[in-house]
Each structure stands twice: as structure tokens, then as C-alpha cells.
Amino acid sequence: MSTLIIWVMGAGLLLVNIMLRTQVLRLEARLKELSNPQEQLAFLRQQAAHKDKIPAIKALRKQYPELSLVEANNLWQQI
């Protein structure tokens, strides 16, 4: 009987995990939609005028935490 309870609890936790993971993925996609790449480029250009590549990319990622390091580097290469 206790084995059955453990299986049911495990299945319930798995379903909750799947639902929460799906919600996080949707929120991340929505956040990327809301962040404007032109705005990010303008911020990076402003930072590039005062700093070298690495501090400018760090400032960009601090301002826009949803950006990955690769995306920030690609934006730097566009300048």
C-alpha cells in the first residue's frame, strides 16, 4: 500500500514539475519578445563608447539579464 502512495505522489510531483517548466519556458519566450534588440544595441553602443569589449558586454548583460553571452557577443560584433 505504501508503495502505491509513493508512486502516486511521484507521478503528481512529476506533473507539477512539467507544468512549472512549461510555464517558465513560456515566460522566458515572452520576456525575449518584450526586449527590443534595437534598444539593446543602443545601450551597447553607449557602453562601448566608454569601455572595452568585456566591460561593455557585462554591462549589457546586467541591464538585460535574459541575453546569453553568445547573444551579447553577437550584438557586440554588429557594432
- Cα–Cα distance measured from residue 4 to residue 19, given in angstroms and rounded to the nearest whole number: 23
- Asked if 76 and 53 count as a contact pair (C-beta separation under 8 A), the reply is yes
Tell me if the pTM is above 0.85: no
DSSP E strands, 1-79: none
- Residue 66 is classified by DSSP as T
Question: Is residue 51 classed as helix, strand or coil in its secondary structure?
Answer: coil
Half-sphere exposure of 19 toward its Cβ, with a 13 Å CA cutoff?
Answer: 6
pLDDT in tens, 26-58: 887 777 766 777 777 777 777 777 777 788 888
More confident: 38 or 6: 6
As a whole number, mean pLDDT of residues 10-33 equals: 88
